[in-house]
């Protein structure tokens, strides 16, 4: 699955830390494609067990962290866990089948 990350139109370059929970019932390779995300900013990708994140060459992979995590099975439990862990959830998306996911990050 390719995850496309771009800032919202009102933000020229996104310069804030981000945390992503990438959960799947089966192990996946998450391919990351980004535009206009500032280098050197902490970005964390938690993936379900057996999954990995692949970064583009020349990407911000040096400042990104990837960690395998055991997530709650149901979406409601996952959302509650994320809110407890991080205090807020700005976006939650569930897809049954997808090859590309487009996410706009911003204020």
**Which pLDDT score is estimated for 58?**
64
Question: In the predicted model, is pLDDT for residue 38 greater than 70?
Answer: yes
pLDDT winner (highest mean) among 17-31, 46-60, 77-91: 17-31
- For the segment 36-48, the average pLDDT, to the nearest whole number, is 92
Would you kindly state where each structural domain of the chain is located, as residue ranges? 2-105
DSSP 94-107: --SS-SEEEEEE--
First to last CA, the chain: 25
As a whole number of angstroms, the distance between CA 33 and CA 2 comes to 7
Element (H, E) at 68: strand 64-69
Task: Report the candidate in 85, 86, 75, 93 with the shortest Cα–Cα distance to residue 25.
Answer: 75
């Amino acid at each position: 699955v390719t995850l496309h990350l771009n800032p919202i139109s009102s933000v020229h370059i996104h310069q804030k830390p981000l945390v992503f929970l990438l959960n799947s019932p089966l192990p996946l390779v998450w391919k990351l494609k980004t535009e206009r995300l500032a280098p050197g900013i902490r970005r964390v990708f938690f993936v379900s067990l057996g999954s990995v994140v692949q970064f583009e060459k020349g990407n911000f992979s040096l400042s990104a962290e990837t960690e395998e995590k055991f997530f709650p099975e149901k979406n409601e439990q996952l959302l509650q866990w994320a809110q407890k862990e991080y205090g807020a959830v700005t976006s939650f998306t569930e897809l049954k089948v997808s090859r590309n996911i487009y996410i706009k990050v911003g204020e």
